[in-house]
A and B are shown apart, each in its own frame.
Chain A
């Protein structure tokens, strides 16, 4: 009896191993795939001297991090932030309004025209950004639009499909009876919009705003072509650092400067979302 049991366990052990080790290896491989490109960025951002065959830097320095505090870099950061926030506001507001317009039976709106509008709102996805910029550049120059405004207009168009789609999906599962309940509780039409509709749509507003912020924050090609090198943002500094030889430290530091704000924003949004769902 005891012999047969040990036999069973001996026969089962290798299978048990394969079953737990294989997924573990796969998970590890996926984690390495996702994290590996960020490792040299972290190392270079603090590396002093790091000569070729060495796996790790031979000395460490805060020079690269300190170079981020130089006025031109700070100004570029402010411009990037301003661009990201501006695109977030315009694309979120316009996208939200568009999604409301696309929603269910409206007086004077046929299903065909609703579909057409939905199609139009997705068309910017089909046009590569550089083509959009080159085409609109002549017009913006002709209209003598300031380069910030020009960049903002083009990036808003680029971001609109994403924000509109976010609101369309949020409105698809939107429960109209919340507004009915609010009205029977004495809320005026304006109060319904401000206290109920905005509150219920806040997660969608946050998601759409975040996506639109990213479009402005991380744009390179639109700023280069329309700004003509006059409107310097963080991506422009990073682009010139990454394309020149020997700029590893600066490339790494600027990369971190561009990664950290949106990731922090994402974590804040995720935590806020989780808190809204579970506790006060």
Chain B
């Protein structure tokens, strides 16, 4: 049932304001693509365009290569789940899930039978006769998911579907989505502002900012090889160490760090993730610095270190954040060594 979805040169404006600029993006059949961005980045608008609820000002939406830009939402065979469950309050749970079958003209009994399969899938078969008001938030969102899946959509569109749930419930929903993917293999486009959710659920992430796609790539690639400072920040990277690329290596207060051979020479920022840095002993350290802050967050601690200037005179003052397991025996003012865990690094210039 699932299809490939692609956006080709989509632009969209509300009045004078351009909210999407020349978006091209592909979601392969059976994959899960996350659109990651802050609120106002245009990601929900892109999803509404995919669902056919909004006509783009320019560009085309393709399903399996076929242009569906002119196809209305009710004919498009996509299903959309919002952050709010939006269960029809005047219909029971099973009537909500049976809604698409009823719209397609099936009998009440057949629609209910069909709906019950999907209620079973989301483990709410016993709640069929209840009214939406009698469910908890997590249950309502499960019903909303079942209602969307019962449409048997070629593309499943999820707009921040788990954002209003608390953390343990969200983990349950991740499990459920995993099960659904195994059983039904739908193509999923997920809109989220939560980089962790995007990383857990999707194979690839498209980073959206001010209506433009900054980078689209695999989860690891986006975390460790961001295309720009903005992508690094949106994915939670805290470090931007200024320096110069020369002779296949980046030179900075962190020392000489090898970079990929095709990296252009000149000034560049080294962007090691806080998770891939470590603290070392002072003797023989690659770089030295003074601890400015230690902040505990659960099983990890974030240590901020103001790096000493390196041997080269023109180097700027730099600071890095290092994530360590447990709580280190360090206080602000202590001197520590800092090193990269990987042999090579990644730089950005923008």
Q: Which residues of A contact B (CB under 8 A)?
A: 175, 177-178, 180-189, 191, 195-196, 199-200, 202, 276-280
- Give B305 Cβ to nearest chain A Cβ, in Å: 47
Q: Which of B73, B99, B104 contacts A180 (CB 8 A)?
A: B73
B79 contacts the other chain (Cβ, under 8 Å)?
A: yes
Q: How many residues of B contact A (CB 8 A)?
A: 35
Q: A185-B99, A185-B103 are in contact. Are A276 and B73 (CB under 8 A)?
A: no
Contact A278 B134 (CB under 8 A): yes
- Give B60 Cβ to nearest chain A Cβ, in Å: 19
B90 surroundings in chain A (CB, below 8 A): 199-200, 202, 276
A279→B130 CA distance, assembly (Å): 6
Contact B78 A187 (CB under 8 A): no
Contact B76 A184 (CB under 8 A): yes
Residue of B nearest to A196 (CB): B88
Q: A175-B86, A181-B82, A184-B52 are in contact. Are A278 and B131 (CB under 8 A)?
A: yes
Contact A184 B78 (CB under 8 A): yes
Residue of A nearest to B51 (CB): A184
Cβ contacts B61-103/A at 8 Å (1 or 0 each): 0000000000011111011101010101111100000011011
Contact A184 B73 (CB under 8 A): yes
**SS class, residues of chain A in contact with chain B:** helix
B147 contacts the other chain (Cβ, under 8 Å)?
A: yes
Cβ contacts B146-161/A at 8 Å (1 or 0 each): 0110010100010000
Contact B92 A280 (CB under 8 A): yes
B281 contacts the other chain (Cβ, under 8 Å)?
A: no
A189 surroundings in chain B (CB, below 8 A): 74
Contact B92 A185 (CB under 8 A): no
Contact A181 B103 (CB under 8 A): no
Contact A184 B80 (CB under 8 A): yes
Q: Which residues of B contact A (CB under 8 A)?
A: 48, 51-53, 72-76, 78-80, 82, 84, 86, 88-92, 99-100, 102-104, 129-131, 133-134, 147-148, 151, 153, 157
Q: What would 11 A/B residue contacts be, using CB atoms closer than 8 Å? A: A182-B88, A184-B74, A185-B74, A185-B147, A195-B103, A199-B88, A199-B91, A200-B89, A276-B131, A278-B133, A279-B131
A185 surroundings in chain B (CB, below 8 A): 74, 79, 99-100, 103, 147-148, 151
A182 surroundings in chain B (CB, below 8 A): 88, 99, 103
Q: A185-B100, A186-B104, A200-B89 are in contact. Are A280 and B131 (CB under 8 A)?
A: yes
Which of A186, A195, A200, A202 lies at the interface centre, i.e. has the most chain B CB atoms within 10 A of its CB? Answer: A186
Q: Which of A180, A188, A191, A195 contacts B80 (CB 8 A)?
A: A180
A196→B157 CA distance, assembly (Å): 21
Contact B134 A279 (CB under 8 A): yes
A187→B104 CA distance, assembly (Å): 8
